[in-house]
Amino acid sequence: MDNQEPRAPVYLREAQIWQRVSEMAATISRDFAGTTPHFVAVLNGAFVFMADLVRRVELPLTLDFMAVSSYQGTESSGEVELIKDLSHPIGGRDVIIVEDIVDTGITLEYLLDYLQARKPATLRVAALLSKPSRRQRNVPIDYLGFEIANAYVYGYGLDCDQLDRNLPYITSLPE
């Protein structure tokens, strides 16, 4: 099947995503001018977003990856399990957590607490998507791509039963 032909309503088109990611990178570049921020992608969903974001950040930077699990199928389990920890120390570093989507906020709250214990100089969050209507925890999002309605979205790194992460746009399951 052609990845350019949407199979469901398109929430965000490729051009919209590219434009907003570029704007976010410009803001991060300004905010962290003169530093070397450390970006931490939350796998698996954030890898496409992080790749595009860091290629547009006009600063020297370093990268790392974490993996956590808090979903069973399409629903949040309410519990977070650490699957892959950081490979590099972050003490004294300017750290930016890169998330695909902030839904309930439970996973992000866990990550913020977990990483704050490692004493970074600063800890910020860049999220491609946010669903405030589902929020159960009040968590900060310093750099936000898009606020969206409560729908199960996928594409651009987000999966639908482990498929369609490679779509260049974001779509949703049919109602």
SS3 174: coil
pLDDT in tens, 145-154: 999 999 899 9
Q: What's the total number of domains in the chain? A: 1
Dist. CA 74–CA 92, nearest whole Å: 37
Q: What is the Cα–Cα distance from 107 to 29, expressed in whole angstroms?
A: 26
Domain membership flag for residue 68: yes
Range of the domain at 84: 20-172
Q: Are the beta carbons of 56 and 30 closer than 8 angstroms?
A: no
Q: Quick check: is 6 in a domain?
A: no
Q: Is residue 1 part of a domain?
A: no
Residue 103 in any domain: the answer is: yes
Q: Dump pLDDT digits (tens) for 13-27.
A: 999 999 999 999 999
> Is there a contact between 125 and 68 (Cβ–Cβ < 8 Å)?
no
CATH number at residue 29: 3.40.50.2020
The answer to the question of residue 50 being in a domain is yes
Active-site position among 94, 100, 103, 164: 103
- Is 100 annotated in the active site? no
Q: Please report whether residue 139 resides in a domain.
A: yes
pLDDT of 73 higher than 60: no
